[in-house]
């Protein structure tokens, strides 16, 4: 899906087209993994990556990589580290150098991957996501995002058609564009969204409620009026 407005990408179709011409499919699922169900058997990517933060609720500094079975024994990593070599867990034999990699996808680990502070945070986050269930997260966010869509349309914003957008976040656009100071003004009101190009990207989570959406548009309405009063006509 698009990082600007939540527009969907048909990964199954893209994957079929890629495989039909002998190409591999690499997916960056950072904007949806943890909030949308992804079926690896249907998509069949060669590799899938995601940041550890965002919808996976973990800390900065960690990421995730899935490698298809055939690459777990044949793939050549970009980054080489002694920790990714076979037997590296046995410190008493570190002088017995080998070109072999650790089995499976561990060959693709980054250097110095033992993050003793970050890994426990990531594990706790993943356990919480599994406890909630990704389907539950997606199902719970869908009506709130739909409410945001309806309020946006009422306020004169444009949104993608329902069949072209995901259900866990939405980008809204106004014909007057996005003013340079909008993000700062919203942050002053303790409202946090992402300004991506001409799109205001809104990504609620389970801690958000309908009243949060209502306050967002109340502040957007006030902020837009303030910007119109302080900016020359035609400014964006």
Q: Which residue has the tokens 């070109």?
A: 99
Residue ending a domain, choose from 132, 163, 186: 132
Same domain, 21 and 95: yes
How many domains does the chain contain in total? 2
Q: How far apart are CA 144 and CA 140, in angstroms?
A: 7
- The confidence score (pLDDT) of residue 191 equals 93
Q: How far apart are CA 51 and CA 213, in angstroms?
A: 26
Residue 178 lies in a domain: yes
φ, ψ (nearest 5 deg) of residue 175: -60, -25
- Answer whether 0.85 is exceeded by the pTM: no
Residue 202 lies in a domain: yes
Q: How do residues 144-153 score in pLDDT, each as one tens digit? A: 999 999 999 9
Asked if pLDDT for residue 71 goes beyond 80, the answer is: yes
Residue 236 lies in a domain: no
Same domain, 118 and 180: no
Same domain, 120 and 185: no
Instruction: Determine contact, residues 55/206, Cβ cutoff 8 Å.
Output: no
Nearest to 27 by CA among 4, 44, 41, 3: 44
Strand order in the sheet with 63-67: 26-28, 47-51, 63-67
Q: How far apart are CA 118 and CA 104, in angstroms?
A: 23
Lowest mean pLDDT among 108-117, 149-158, 195-204, 208-217: 108-117
- The confidence score (pLDDT) of residue 99 equals 87
Same domain, 93 and 152: no
Same domain, 156 and 218: yes
Tokens of 49: 């990556």
Asked if pLDDT for residue 122 goes beyond 50, the answer is: yes
- Say which DSSP state 33 is in: B
Query: Can you give the CATH number for the domain in which 124 is found?
Result: 3.40.640.10
Asked if pLDDT for residue 231 goes beyond 70, the answer is: no
Q: How far apart are CA 170 and CA 202, in angstroms?
A: 5
Instruction: Determine contact, residues 196/5, Cβ cutoff 8 Å.
Output: yes
Same domain, 169 and 212: yes
Average the pLDDT over 162-190 and give the result: 89
Strand order in the sheet with 194-196: 157-158, 170-174, 199-202, 194-196
φ, ψ (nearest 5 deg) of residue 126: -65, -40
Render 111-179 in DSSP notation, one character per residue.
TT---TTHHHHHHHHHHHHHHH-HHHHHHHHHHHHHHHHHHHHHTTEE---GGGB-SS-EEEEETT---
Q: How far apart are CA 156 and CA 172, in angstroms?
A: 10
Same domain, 166 and 140: yes
């Amino acid at each position: 899906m698009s990082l600007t407005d939540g527009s969907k990408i048909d990964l199954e179709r893209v994957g079929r087209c890629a495989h039909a011409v002998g190409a591999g499919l690499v997916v960056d699922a950072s904007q949806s993994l943890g909030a949308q169900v992804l079926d690896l058997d249907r998509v069949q990517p060669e590799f899938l990556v995601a940041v550890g933060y965002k919808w996976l609720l973990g800390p900065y500094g960690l990421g995730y990589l899935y490698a298809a079975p055939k690459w777990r024994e044949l793939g050549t990593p970009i980054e080489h580290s002694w920790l990714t070599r076979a037997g590296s867990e046995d410190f008493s034999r570190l002088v017995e150098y080998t070109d072999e990699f650790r089995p499976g996808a561990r060959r693709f680990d980054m250097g110095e991957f033992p993050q003793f502070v970050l890994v426990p945070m990531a594990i706790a986050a993943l356990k919480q996501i599994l406890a909630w269930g990704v389907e539950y997260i997606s199902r719970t966010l869908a009506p709130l995002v739909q409410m945001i869509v309806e309020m946006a349309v009422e306020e004169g914003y444009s949104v993608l058609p329902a069949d072209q957008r995901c259900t866990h976040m939405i980008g809204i656009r106004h014909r007057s564009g996005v003013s340079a100071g909008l993000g700062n003004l919203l942050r002053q009101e303790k409202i946090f969204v992402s300004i991506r190009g001409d799109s205001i990207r809104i990504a609620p989570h389970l801690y958000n409620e309908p009243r949060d959406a209502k306050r967002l548009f109340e502040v957007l309405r006030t902020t837009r009026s303030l910007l119109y009063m302080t900016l020359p006509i035609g400014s964006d």
